[in-house]
Amino acid sequence: MKCVDHLGNKFKSRREMCEHYNITPKTLNARLDKGFALCDALTMPYRMRGRYVIWGNEFGSIKQACEYYHVPYDAIRQKVYRGEDLADLVLLAP
């Protein structure tokens, strides 16, 4: 099966296309299933698991960031997993 990316580049397989963009096929499939455009699904950078940086402060988890900024973790966690920006949520939290 031949694959074509958003720029018209042709690849022998989806795996080859993913290798070109340095993502895994699993990541590409998950992004496409969530409704991402092909361009975004291929080019969006990985979020390094367990690393959150807010205003220059680095945290190993969402919970650590919430504790540092005195924000309720339960109110923030689900919003982050739905794709909202952690820094914005912390800034706007009551």
Cα torsion angle, 83, 89, 92, 94, sign: positive
Number of domains in the chain: 2
Which pTM does this prediction carry?
0.50
Residue type at 90 in one-letter notation: V
66 CB contacts (<8 Å, ≥6 apart)? 72, 73, 76, 90
Higher-confidence residue of 75 and 6: namely 6
- Res. 15 pLDDT band, cuts 50 70 90: very high
Q: Do 56 and 80 reside in the same domain of the chain? A: yes
Model pLDDT for residues 23-60, shown as the tens digit of each residue: 889 989 988 998 888 988 888 766 655 677 787 788 88
Domain that holds residue 61: 52-92
Q: Do 37 and 16 reside in the same domain of the chain? A: yes
pLDDT of 63: 87
